[in-house]
Amino acid sequence: GESVGLHLPTLSVQEGDNSIINCAYSNSASDYFIWYKQESGKGPQFIIDIRSNMDKRQGQRVTVLLNKTVKHLSLQIAATQPGDSAVYFCAEKRVMDSNYQLIWGAGTKLIIKP
Amino acid sequence: EAQVTQNPRYLITVTGKKLTVTCSQNMNHEYMSWYRQDPGLGLRQIYYSMNVEVTDKGDVPEGYKVSRKEKRNFPLILESPSPNQTSLYFCASSFISTNYGYTFGSGTRLTVV
């Protein structure tokens, strides 16, 4: 079936290093992708998005890369800080049976080592 | 402040006792949705609403009801809660477009004993 999935369930990174979280999707018709951050006890928080007509988008300390050829999405966090500890979800937003649905990955837990 | 507000944050109830979880957004979003989040299963959509008086089932609607009488409110109703509905619930809203992400509430942790 169609899905958005994550390669690694847990990622440990040294504080100050860069983090790269990966995501694969299977629907080549998808045209909008979002990364969310969920801290313990809180709702998912929007980080950055990218449309399919782009291959890179940068925010503050974050960069999302989209490779449509291999249907792969990644989130890069520069100079990882303790406050970046969270579960990161990629999501694909598309219309399915008139529902603007988010198709979620299972999430990657980012652990920051001091 | 633009936000989605859910209440209550925590709720412990007994099997069969009807309950309502409220959700309100102040962003004039047409689209609202309820999710439940369980360990290992990620976020699963329960119900959604494209606009006032328009609601439809998501992936896991059994045991839940919703209503959308006003644009800003989208309550989730459990007529007869059961222990398998113990979960973390999130309300989310968005503009009707594929080019907008969702804004999520802070969550409601429900325990049914």
Interface of B with A (CB under 8 A): 4, 31, 40, 42-43, 45, 48, 50, 56, 58, 90, 92, 94, 96-107
Of all residues in chain A, the one with the smallest CA distance to B39 is A106
- Cα separation, A14 vs A17, whole angstroms: 6
Of B4, B42, B45, the CB nearest to A101: B45
pLDDT of A8 > 70? The answer is no
Pair B110, B11: CB distance under 8 Å: yes
Q: Which residues of B touch A45 (CB under 8 A)?
A: 104
pLDDT of residue B99: 66
The Cα B42–Cα A19 span in angstroms is: 22
Q: Which chain B residues have a beta carbon less than 8 Å from that of A89?
A: 42-43
CB contact under 8 A, B42 and A46: no
Is residue B84 helix, strand or coil?
helix
Confidence of residue A98 (pLDDT cuts 50, 70, 90): low
How many A/B residue pairs have CB atoms within 8 Å?
58
Asked if residue A93 lies in contact with residue A100, where contact means CB atoms within 8 angstroms, the answer is yes
The alpha-carbon radius of gyration of chain B (Å, integer) is: 13
CB contact under 8 A, A100 and B98: yes
Contact B4, B25 (CB under 8 A): yes
Q: Give bridge partners of residue A56 from the DSSP assignment.
A: A65
- In this structure, the dihedral spanned by the alpha carbons of residues A38, A44, A49 and A51, taken in order and rounded to 10 degrees, is 120
Residues of A in contact with B97 (CB under 8 A): 100
Q: pLDDT tens across B4-50, in order?
A: 999 999 999 999 999 999 999 999 999 999 999 988 777 889 999 99
- Is residue B24 within 8 Å of residue B5, measured between CB atoms? yes
The residue of chain B with its CA nearest to that of A98 is B50
Residue A56 has, within 13 A of its CA and on its CB side, a CA count of: 3
Question: Which residue of chain B has the CA closest to A50?
Answer: B99
